[in-house]
Amino acid sequence: MDDFAIEVSRLNKAFGPVTALDELTFQVPAGSVLGLLGPNGSGKTTTVSVLSTALRPDGGRATVHGLDVVADAARVRAVIGFAGQFAAVDPNLTGRENLTLIGRLSRVDRRLARVRAAELLDQFGLSDAADRLVRGYSGGMRRRLDLAAALVHRPPVLFLDEPTTGLDPESRFRLWDAVRELARAGTTVLLTTQYLEEADALADQVVIIAHGRVAETGTPAQLKERFGSVVFTLGFAGAADALTASRQLAMAGYRAVADEADIQVRSDSGSGALPRLLRALDQVPDPVSVGIHEPTLDDVFLALTGPASADQAGLHR
């Protein structure tokens, strides 16, 4: 039995002159949640489309449960669930009818499809709206229904393309809970997101891609450790003290930015950073407050791709 539920090896895909995937390679261990992170146009959607058999790659190989996504596409479709970037549900059907339809088309027999539809509507908090037409649903309800539709045939592997983009916070948290529950039950999940917070909250492993290549991989903690810098915010009694302090810190080699009575100082993470920082402030009255901002995946992401590359990627989209 494979250790990996998904294996992606040197995948290539171009749309005319635009390279979407460039020798993309990564693996997803069975039963884990992988967060695929990247700016717009970095190749996230293309990757998920290839893995869910909606798009053929130009070159390279990808397997899901050991099945080739091109040669064995029909069998791959039986083991995957897919929820795309937009709620792909029929507005003129009820929630229940949508789930039953997708279940039937996923080769679930009619009776079981109805049972699964009822279970999922309940699980996603849509029981009350089950028999209303989806065109009257809110955006959040549609997305939840869309995710539910991907689960009718209990797929062991689930692909989610930006599942919470455009959702209000409450809907977002509900969707996170649903993904966590699936992961607990052993489903392998690959989700793409632009929200580093989301990858931090859900993913066991993060793959950051830029220009269709893997830029970095690791657990969220490893990435923060490796790339994040701690930001200290020192509050002083007055603006004059803050100015003096920032000059001294600059002389000691720190990057310090003064803002009224506060200054912000970047420092590599690691123990001992704060005492060293305070020692450099010998000649100045002690700060009245000290704030510590731990690195987030946002910092990692910016460090790796940079604002310039994000802009460029946006243009290529």
Partner 1 sequence: MSAAAVAGRGQRGPATRLADAVLDTVDVADRNLRSLVRTPQALVFATVQPMIFVLLFRYAFGGAIKVPGVSYVDFLMPGVFAQSVAFGAIGTAVGLSADLRSGLLVRFRTLPMSPIAVLAGRTLADLARNVLVVAVMLGVGFAVGFRSPAGVIPLLAALGLVIAFGYAASWGFIALGLRVSDPEAAQGAGVPLVFLLVFTASAFVPSADMPGWLQAFGTHQPVNALVTAERALIFGQPSGHDVLLSLAWSGGLFLVFALLGLRIYTRMNR
Among 9, 18, 91, 270, binds partner 1 (CB under 8 A): 91
Size of the site for partner 1 (CB under 8 A): 40
Instruction: State the residue for tokens 């539809």.
Output: 117
d(CA 137, CA 99): 15
> Is residue 133 at the binding interface for partner 1, with CB under 8 A as the rule?
yes
> Is residue 136 at the binding interface for partner 1, with CB under 8 A as the rule?
no
Q: Which of 56, 255 has the CB closer to partner 1?
A: 56
Q: Which of 70, 215 has the CB closer to partner 1?
A: 70
Helix (H, G, I), strand (E, B) or coil at 197: helix
112 with 104: CB under 8 angstroms?
Answer: no
Least distance CB 93 / partner 1 (angstroms): 6
> Is residue 251 at the binding interface for partner 1, with CB under 8 A as the rule?
no
- CB atoms inside a 10 Å sphere around CB 35: 24
Among 7, 12, 61, 104, binds partner 1 (CB under 8 A): 104
Q: Which of 157, 265 has the CB closer to partner 1?
A: 157
Among 9, 18, 59, 107, binds partner 1 (CB under 8 A): 107
Least distance CB 279 / partner 1 (angstroms): 58
Helix (H, G, I), strand (E, B) or coil at 27: strand
Site string for partner 1, 146-185 (x = CB under 8 A): ---x------x-----------------------------
Q: Which of 9, 219 has the CB closer to partner 1?
A: 9
Site string for partner 1, 51-90 (x = CB under 8 A): -xxxxx--------xxx----x-xxxxxxx-x-xxxxxxx
246-251, long-range: CB within 8 Å, 24+ apart, which pairs?
A: 248/280, 248/281, 248/283, 248/284, 249/277, 249/280, 249/281
Determine which helix (DSSP H) or strand (DSSP E) holds 230, and give its type and residue range. strand 229-235
263 with 246: CB under 8 angstroms?
Answer: yes
For 136, residues 6+ apart whose C-beta sits below 8 A from its C-beta are 129
99 with 149: CB under 8 angstroms?
Answer: yes
Least distance CB 67 / partner 1 (angstroms): 6
For residue 277, count CB atoms less than 10 angstroms from its CB and return exposed for 0-12, middle for 13-18, buried for 19 or more.
Answer: buried
Using CB under 8 A as the criterion, which residues of the chain lie in contact with partner 1 when the complex forms? 1-2, 49, 52-56, 65-67, 72, 74-80, 82, 84-93, 97, 101-102, 104-107, 133, 149, 156
